[in-house]
Amino acid sequence: MVNGADDPQQRKHSSLPFLSRHDGAPPTPPPEGYQHPRRFPSSPFAVPVGAPEPPEPQATRPTNRRLRHPFGWSAVAVAAVFALVLLVALAMGATDAIYGATMLAVQLIVAAVVVAAVVIAPSRVLGSWALAIVLVLNVGTVGAMSALRTSAAGDYGDQPGHEQPGHAYPGIKDVDENAILQAPSLEATQSRMDELSTRIRAELSDEFGFTWVKVSDPLQRNERNGYGGESMLQQYTAPVWATQQPVHGYGDKLDVMSAIDDVLREEGVYYSLYPLNEPYDGISDDSLEQLYGSADPAEQVRWSYYTELAEPGFGTAAPESPLFYAEMIDLTHDDTGRWTKQQEAENAKNGTPMEGVQLMFYGTQLLSEADRDAFEKALEENPAP
């Protein structure tokens, strides 16, 4: 006989939840049922006969509002039109027009529009496109290409090569030819500069214990004649010398400049030194601060004195006089670090000492003795227009 407690059927029904007790069971539905009950199909895979197939979802591409901003497209259009104008001018060889004041003014307007488009967030993408156009095609790049093309073709003022009036003139426009022949030659000027530089360095070494290092070799190149060609006159920069010791005190700097001035006075060929770094009419304090580190000479990073040859010239059309510069660098007053970085770059390039005194002689419109006869002959064959 099977016990009721061991009856399998009884055990099956007794194991079903919530049959014998309702404690813990979910609440029963209300008599009317739930509002808008969810209805499931009897089979999740069964599709009613005749029911239309659901449409396939179509991918929608979001629209980038940054590509629709009207100001952005305006910037692109302005940049493109300006680039087209420059290319047309390049094709026509109009180098003067590219570098003209009108084109430069238009360039500034175009740049302002492009920068505004880049700054405004909704038009930034299109503004970047416009900026790319301006960076590639602008007055600078197109003008340089036009100038190179004109130079390579030998086309100056719609006249090829030496057919332009004055192109082969050996002198310089508005400089008297006789004054050029009477002025000291290139070789004489070089010799005088070297001798005076040696005297100044020896005097400063004796008085202040300076030692010197040459920071640049002499440079020489032809002067332009003012008619689209090269003259036979030379521009010359003597070797630049610098002290290996700094000069920091305000009084010490004045003493060094005074010692240099004494040598110039004894030599009798240059005027007294004139300070460019001191305040004077026509220059603002902001300019002095930008050029020399401060408007106050006692707090300046850079001192710059200059003079020129004191020998009498030959009228207003005489060649320019040779110049002499004496400069000092004192980084103890460099509060911004700008001058220190600049001196570090010079030191890495040519070994220029970070601080100290520098001497430089510079001459222009100089005729070599070796070119004198050729110069006179060229004047006969190619006189000034």
pLDDT tens track for 169-186: 999 999 999 999 999 999
- For residue 359, pLDDT beyond 90: yes
| Rounded average pLDDT over 369-378 | 95
* Count of C-beta atoms within a 10 Å radius of residue 247: 20
Task: State whether the Cα torsion 87-88-89-92 is positive or negative.
Answer: positive
Neighbour-count burial of 300, counting CB atoms closer than 10 A to its CB (0-12 exposed, 13-18 middle, 19+ buried): buried
Is the pLDDT confidence value at 296 over 60? yes
pLDDT at 88 over 70: yes
Mean pLDDT of the region 126-141: 76
Q: State the pLDDT confidence band at 32, using cuts at 50, 70 and 90.
A: low
Cβ neighbours of residue 195 closer than 8 Å, sequence gap 6 or more: none
Residue with tokens 């175009």: 110
Confidence of residue 126 (pLDDT cuts 50, 70, 90): confident
The strand pairing partners of 306, in sequence order, are 274, 325
More confident residue, 101 or 175: 175
pLDDT for res 52: 57
**What count of other Cβ atoms lies within 10 Å of the Cβ of residue 192?**
19
Taken in order 284, 286, 291, 295, the sign of the CA dihedral is: positive
3-state SS of 23-68 is CCCCCCCCCCCCCCCCCCCCCCCCCCCCCCCCCCCCCCCCCCHHHC
Write down the pLDDT at residue 15.
Answer: 47
CA distance 174 to 318: 9
What mean pLDDT do residues 61-67 have? 53
Q: What is the CA radius of gyration of the chain?
A: 43
Average pLDDT, the chain: 80
Domain boundaries, the chain: 65-153, 177-381
Whole-number pLDDT of residue 69: 65
Q: Which residues contact 339 (CB under 8 A, 6 or more apart)?
A: 293, 301, 302, 329, 331
pLDDT category at 250 given cuts 50, 70, 90 is: very high
Give residue 279's Cα distance to chain centre.
28
Q: Longest C-alpha distance within the chain, in Å?
A: 151
Q: Say if residue 316's pLDDT is above 50.
A: yes
Q: Which residue has the higher pLDDT, 253 or 4?
A: 253
* pLDDT at position 31: 61
Phi, psi of 213 (to 5 degrees): -140, 135
Task: Reduce the DSSP state of residue 1 to 3 states and report it.
Answer: coil
CA 173 centroid distance within chain: 32
**pLDDT confidence of 248, banded at 50, 70, 90?**
very high
Which amino acid makes up residue 361?
F
Place of tokens 């000034």: 384
Average pLDDT over residues 197-221: 96
CA nearest to 163, candidates 96, 226, 227? 227
Please report how many Cα atoms fall inside a 13 Å half-sphere around the Cα of residue 367, on the Cβ side: 25
How does pLDDT run across 213-241, given as a tens digit for each residue?
A: 999 999 999 999 999 899 999 999 999 99
Res 48: pLDDT:
52
Tens digits of residue pLDDT in 2-18: 454 455 555 444 444 44
Cα–Cα distance, 111 to 30 (Å, whole number): 74
Q: What does residue 328 show for φ and ψ, rounded to 5 degrees?
A: -135, 145
Indicate if the pLDDT at residue 26 is higher than 60: no
Are residues 322 and 193 in contact, defined by beta-carbon separation less than 8 angstroms?
yes
Q: What is the pLDDT of residue 208?
A: 97
| pLDDT at 245 (0 to 100) | 97
- pLDDT (average), residues 246-265: 96
The answer on pLDDT for 117 being more than 60 is yes
pLDDT of residue 317: 79
Under the banding of pLDDT at 50, 70 and 90, the label for residue 156 is very low
More confident residue, 121 or 259: 259
Asked if the model's pLDDT at residue 1 lies above 80, the reply is no
- For residue 341, what pLDDT band results from cuts at 50, 70 and 90? very high
d(CA 71, CA 81): 15
